[in-house]
Amino acid sequence: MGTFVVTGSASGMGAATAGRLQDEGHTVIDVDLHEAGIQADLSTPQGRADALTGIKAATGGRLDGVAAVAGLGAHLDDPARVLAVNYFAPVALLEGLRRELAVSGAGRVVVISSNSASTVPLIDEELVRIVLSGDEKAALERAGGRHIQLPDEITESAPSITAYASSKLALSLWVRRTTVTEDWARAGILLNAVAPGAVLTPLMRASTGRDAEPDPDNFPTPMPLGHFGDPEDIAFWAHQFLRPEARFTTGSVLYVDGGTDAAMRPEGY
């Protein structure tokens, strides 16, 4: 049986992913703000460093996989924090755990991106460039500066949409750029991303408003299947990417979104 790290394990997709691994008999090192073996605020460098210290102590120097699931939604009115948790946290943890993943000889990583990276037209390309350069201070300043003008109806419901979609695009690009480098590829560590669409979790319910049950046929993005996702729909694929048998897939970004991206970008993939 293996040892896996799951961030965002206290809720939604992270809890579902941790549950699948535990059901198979694996050891799960769970990381979250609360209700987790390792409690840390991944929005800050200090919180990430504390999390890494705790994880390394628990692994014994060898790690089979990481599911970096923790994230924040666009509904929060704090774009810098959204960017920090959605991009800088998973990248710092994964870079910090590369050595432990290499020791296993078949390390597996899955991150949770979003179909927002391809379906939201409010991406700040300059922000993505700065994020990928690794300059967190400059990136958080840029995100807080809100350089993309949002339509009024979006400012209210999704004030951090630019930081959110830009963070998820940058995370998918980081996966694709990193996975081909020698340090990762030749160490047998495979990195993939799942890009969910609308999935019924506390994050999505907070984004759509708590008062009414969201309606898939009257939703801002098309839902061709006529229903939203469940955390288990994402955990299923996250789990597949973490299996040792998934040995020839790396750098992929898998849409698990009920067909939203296909409906919005029929000419792209």
Question: Which spans of this chain sit near ligand NAD (rule: CB under 6 A)?
Answer: 8, 10-14, 32-33, 41-43, 69-72, 85-86, 112, 114, 196, 198-199, 201-204, 231
CB of 236 to ligand NAD, least distance (A): 14
Nearer to ligand NAD, 63 or 117 (CB): 117
Q: Which helix (H) or strand (E) covers residue 254, if one does? A: strand 253-256
Q: Which H, E and C letters describe 152-215, residue by residue? A: HHHHHHCCCHHHHHHHHHHHHHHHHHHHCCHHHHCCCCEEEEEEECCECCHHHHHHHCCCCCCC
Cα 269 from Cα 127, distance rounded (Å): 23
Helix segments in 34-149, DSSP class H: 45-59, 79-83, 89-104, 116-119, 125-133, 136-144
Indicate the SS3 state at residue 104: helix
DSSP 130: H
